[in-house]
Amino acid sequence: MSAAVIIVAVDGAAGSGKSTLARGLAQRLGVAYVNTGLMYRAVAAASIARGVDLDDAEGLVDLARGLRFRLEGDDPPTLEVEGYVPVDLTTPGVESRVSLVARHPVVRSVLRDQQRTLGATGAVMEGRDIATVVFPDAPLKLFLRADQMRRVDRRADERDADTNVVRDALERRDARDARTTPLEPAPGAIIIDTSDLSIDQTLDEALGAARRVWPERR
Ligand code: DC
């Protein structure tokens, strides 16, 4: 992929700070912010609304094809799913179903095409397989790590939820997700451990890496 197009692939475990970083980086680089997890979450939410079984891959594909994704706003343009507001996509029902939606290769393939279209003119794109499958030639790949305790605390804060409940849900999801796509840095990815970094420090590290790839972007 030509470095002329700004594509930053961001991955990392839940609660590692990847969404906060990805949004901030997109803003600073002047490109779109695409959280691809929302796309899988929207399919999970639709499967609840329509009563589609999680083993019914073709039924889930139909739901995925029926969703409309768009970039809204400008600081940064941000992925939205028509008909869904963010809280619809973080309900316990969605949390418990989403990895079971994401394990179907046919669902992944439909969403992958959409992701490539959304990123065509530049994006900071967050998600499991962005650096390996969706944009394997992304000029910059970032992988965020954090201690499990920090991840649980952050997720509990974000969702205003009980720490023990969050820990259980996170462990179950990590284990399921690892069966679909291993949580490993892609070849060439820059690893940032955010356990002891503030949001600004994490952003500074990522911006430093971006400026080495795109020196003209100040
Ligand atoms: O990042 P997140 O928690 O919003 O991801 C939600 C789910 O979707 C999680 O099970 C991982 C999965 N996912 C995926 O398999 N591939 C992506 N590109 C993004 C998310």
Going along the chain from its start, the domains and CATH numbers come out as 7-207 (3.40.50.300)
Do residues 3 and 138 touch, judged by C-beta distance below 8 A?
Answer: no
Q: What is the pLDDT of residue 2?
A: 61
Do residues 140 and 210 touch, judged by C-beta distance below 8 A?
Answer: yes
Of 190 and 153, more confident: 190
Examine the pLDDT at 155 and tell me if it is beyond 70.
Answer: yes
pTM for the structure as a whole: 0.91
Task: Give the tokens for residue 143.
Answer: 């992988």
98 CB under 6 A from ligand 1? yes
Of 3 and 210, more confident: 210
Q: What is the pLDDT of residue 218?
A: 59
Q: What is the pLDDT of residue 216?
A: 81
Q: What is the pLDDT of residue 217?
A: 73
Q: What is the pLDDT of residue 1?
A: 63
Examine the pLDDT at 201 and tell me if it is beyond 80.
Answer: yes
Of 123 and 13, more confident: 123
Task: Give the tokens for residue 187.
Answer: 């070849």
Q: State the average pLDDT over residues 113-142.
A: 96
Pairing relation of β-strands 140-145 and 7-12? Answer: parallel
Confidence of residue 37 (pLDDT cuts 50, 70, 90): very high
177 CB under 6 A from ligand 1? yes
Return the residue whose CA atom lies nearest to atom 15 of ligand 1: 102
Return the residue whose CA atom lies nearest to atom 18 of ligand 1: 127
Do residues 4 and 29 touch, judged by C-beta distance below 8 A?
Answer: no
Q: Rounded to whole angstroms, how far apart are CA atoms 191 and 143? A: 5
